[in-house]
Amino acid sequence: MSTAIIVGGGIGGLATAIAFLRKGWDVEVLERATTIAEVGAGLSVWPNALRALDALGVGAEVRARATEEGAAGIRDSKGTWLSRSDTDLLRARYRLPIMMHRADLFDILRAAIPESALRTGITVSEARTDGTVVHSAGTSTGDVVVGADGIRSVVRRAVCGEVAPRYSGYTAWRVVVTPTEPMGDLGESWGRGERFGYAALADGRVYCFATGNMPAGTAGGGLAELRRRFGTWHAPIPGLLAAADEGALLKHDLYDLPALKTYVAGRIALVGDAAHAMTPNLGQGACQAIEDAVVLAEVATRDGDLTRYDAERRPRTQMIVTRSRRIGAIAQLSAAPLVALRNAVLRLTPSTAQANALAPVLDWHPPTR
Ligand SMILES: Cc1cc2nc3c(=O)[nH]c(=O)nc-3n(C[C@H](O)[C@H](O)[C@H](O)COP(=O)(O)OP(=O)(O)OC[C@H]3O[C@@H](n4cnc5c(N)ncnc54)[C@H](O)[C@@H]3O)c2cc1C
């Protein structure tokens, strides 16, 4: 039986483990954390990734623990609509994205993998193109080694040397809140160099996310900072921030990866953020990791030529990294004249044009063989 050694037990690693298991492979997931768990935040899963999750046999369970993202759009800080998505058009053309808690997706992915395949508390220090992985408990050897170890991947060194992530210029906050007032329409609100968004979770809670321009590594930035930035924005934002718990607040500087020359070397293939970490402006980072998983297992099983995986996945994922970065640059504009111009363009852009622009990202289907 063929074996896949998967470094990293994040969404990308777990999805890849399921994809190989379904092809009849033996799987070993090496995760440095002592428990396999996700951060307390929401995750939007777009129809392209839902098709990939269907291919992994978990799509129905995922949908059952998620809410369909309904009417949405972009407002200014006072609540005036700049752009509204045409939900009917999006549903008819692509199906709507869903929103779920990350922990729920993790539970579902984990449950599809036998406990014996998950090795926690193991830190990988080196991967070799011959299929050897050196780690804190010894070595493992596989027919394929999958680098699913995130944006600061160790496995990536064997594929393309040191590659430094790029700071986007802005940080992100996330928090899940129990709302105390009606939410109305969901979506994002854009100000000058900062954004606030919120989306409903299946259990009635609300996932809030915000961004702000600042140098990487800026200290502080707790709820007091969020309330200072967004406390005077339109309802229900001040109420959501009043209901938020400091201990549940996450703050991460946002980075992406410059385009790698390849995602494969010898027996090694990179998936997810290790290959193509992106800013979250399209909500596609995890979605692309799930697509990677399905394609990699298919290619590895078909004829083992991993360069086909590279050829299929690299152009698509790098296109999405670039788009996400561009959207972020526009959304985070801070100079007043540029913000006024951006808002005017948003108001004038028809919803059909917005829907068409999503086609290259959402019109993806799993390999059929
Ligand atoms: C603010 C924010 C919002 C986002 N929103 C969305 C969204 O709505 N939709 C979406 O699709 N994506 C979203 N993303 C992106 C998404 O979270 C990531 O793309 C995705 O989680 C990447 O998964 P991964 O498995 O590739 O990497 P990771 O989640 O980083 O997992 C890597 C795993 O490898 C382990 N590891 C690392 N190094 C080693 C080692 N040396 N040895 C052993 N184990 C190791 C780590 O402990 C970790 O468990 C968002 C990201 C951010 C920051």
Could you tell me if the CB of 10 is within 6 A of ligand 1? yes
Q: pLDDT tens, 90-99?
A: 999 999 999 9
Distance (angstroms) between ligand 1 centre and the Cα of 39 equals 10
Report d(CA 73, CA 197) in Å as an integer: 10
Residue nearest atom 17 in ligand 1 by C-alpha distance: 286
Residue nearest atom 38 in ligand 1 by C-alpha distance: 149
Could you tell me if the CB of 137 is within 6 A of ligand 1? no
- The backbone region for 304, taken as left when phi is positive above 0, alpha when psi lies in -120 to 50, beta otherwise, is left
Torsion of CA 141, 142, 145, 146, to 10 degrees: -120
Residues, the chain, total? 369
Would you write out the chain's pLDDT as a tens digit for each of its 369 residues?
999 999 999 999 999 999 999 999 999 999 999 998 888 899 999 999 999 999 999 999 999 999 998 778 999 999 999 999 889 999 999 999 999 999 999 999 999 999 999 999 999 999 999 999 999 999 999 999 999 999 999 999 999 999 999 999 999 999 999 998 888 778 999 999 999 999 999 999 999 999 999 999 998 889 999 999 999 999 999 999 999 999 999 999 999 999 999 999 999 999 999 999 999 999 999 999 999 999 999 999 998 899 999 999 999 999 999 999 999 999 999 999 999 999 999 999 998 998 899 999 999 999 986
The pLDDT of residue 47: 97
- For ligand 1, pick from 31, 104, 281 the residue to mutate: most ligand atoms within 8 Å of CB: 31
Report d(CA 232, CA 238) in Å as an integer: 7
The pLDDT of residue 38: 82
Supply the angle between the helices 285-302 and 306-331 in degrees, to the nearest 10: 170
- For ligand 1, pick from 149, 279, 332 the residue to mutate: most ligand atoms within 8 Å of CB: 149
Q: Which domains, from first to last, does the chain contain? A: 3-64+99-165+256-332 (3.50.50.60)
Residue nearest atom 26 in ligand 1 by C-alpha distance: 272
Q: pLDDT tens, 319-331?
A: 999 999 999 999 9
What are the structure tokens assigned to 91, written together?
Answer: 């549903």
Distance (angstroms) between ligand 1 centre and the Cα of 30 equals 15
Query: Cα–Cα distances in Å, from 195 out to 70, 235, 350?
Result: 20, 14, 22
Residue nearest atom 51 in ligand 1 by C-alpha distance: 280
Closest atom of ligand 1 relative to the 275 alpha carbon: 26
Could you tell me if the CB of 292 is within 6 A of ligand 1? no
Contact between 215 and 254 under an 8 Å Cβ cutoff? The reply is no
Taking alpha carbons only, the member of 28, 29, 30, 26 closest to residue 2 is 26
